[in-house]
Amino acid sequence: MHNEYRQQLLECKVDGQPAPKRMPQLIWDEELASQAEAQAKSCTFYGNYPKSRRFKSVEQNIASCGSVEDVMKRWFSQHISYNFKENKCLLRCDQYLKMVSANTTHIGCAAYKCPSGEHYYILAIVCNYGPGLRGIVRPYEAKNIDEVCPM
């Protein structure tokens, strides 16, 4: 799903965002996936930024509700809160920025049903990104920062 959203950016199909010069496809990484699985199975719903032998920095998105598809859609929909030209979030947009960082080349995700009462569960969804986007930088270089995709 991440690569589908990244492709939408390349094709200038994301309202209000400029198309990137480049947006690499994410490659599945077993180490990142294993760490995501451990985090999901812990049923704790806060990020822990795992260490990696392969990547200098790792970023993490975590959610605790909905289906995997709904969560990915919610993370990506944060693009409406991101002003690319000013590199500012009007509301929360950090999960979107992690999804579309051109610096990120690898991903590992996991989901786990955490018990929540006698007959209920909460779905923990975790995605780790390597290398992570660190600091206050734009997630990618735009083809033309003054041309945003049509709304």
Percent share of the chain, pLDDT over 90? 70
Asked if residue 134 has pLDDT above 70, the reply is: no
pLDDT at 93: 93
* 67-79 average pLDDT score: 94
Structure tokens at 106: 């690898």
Residues 51-78, mean pLDDT to the nearest whole number: 90
Residue ranges covered by each domain of the chain: 2-18+26-130
How far apart CA 43 and CA 117 sit, in angstroms, is: 13
From 82, 84, 126, 88, select the one nearest 107 (Cα to Cα): 126
Pick the CATH number of 2-18+26-130 from 3.90.1300.10, 3.10.105.10, 3.30.70.890, 3.40.33.10: 3.40.33.10
